[in-house]
Copies of this chain bind each other. A is one copy, B any other.
């Protein structure tokens, strides 16, 4: 009865669903030794080589200050490199090792998204993405 009260609340269900799916994805990505945010940043760098830390932070709503340890982690792992654009900006690129390792990470991301959608009953499936995007975009 208490549980039913909670699961009738979309805000509560939203948080629980996000927590469950985040834990699931984090677990799958751990096999590649990357975090969710790492994989997302790698996806952006792969899609747009030469992007700056600031631009990536703006796209993902990550504070500039929090990009520093994140990028250091990826750099220490040998997956990304920095190429000076001018005296103040740096373009981020995948290293050879990054290019070698990223496809498996991308496949993990894509498999996760497919499996997530597969868990949603068919009659609700096409409504999920537009409903969610209306809540933050």
Q: Which residues of A contact B (CB under 8 A)?
A: 1-3, 5-22, 25, 36, 40, 43-44, 47-48, 59-61, 109, 112-113, 116-117, 119-121, 123-125, 127-137
Contacts and interface: CB of A to CB of B under 8 A. Distances in A.
B129 A128 contact: no
B14 A18 contact: yes
A132 B6 CA distance: 13
Nearest to A118: B134
B14 A21 contact: yes
B15 A18 contact: yes
Given A14-B18, A20-B136, A119-B134, 5 more contacts: A2-B47, A6-B60, A9-B109, A15-B18, A17-B135
Given A127-B124, A135-B119, A25 B2 contact: no
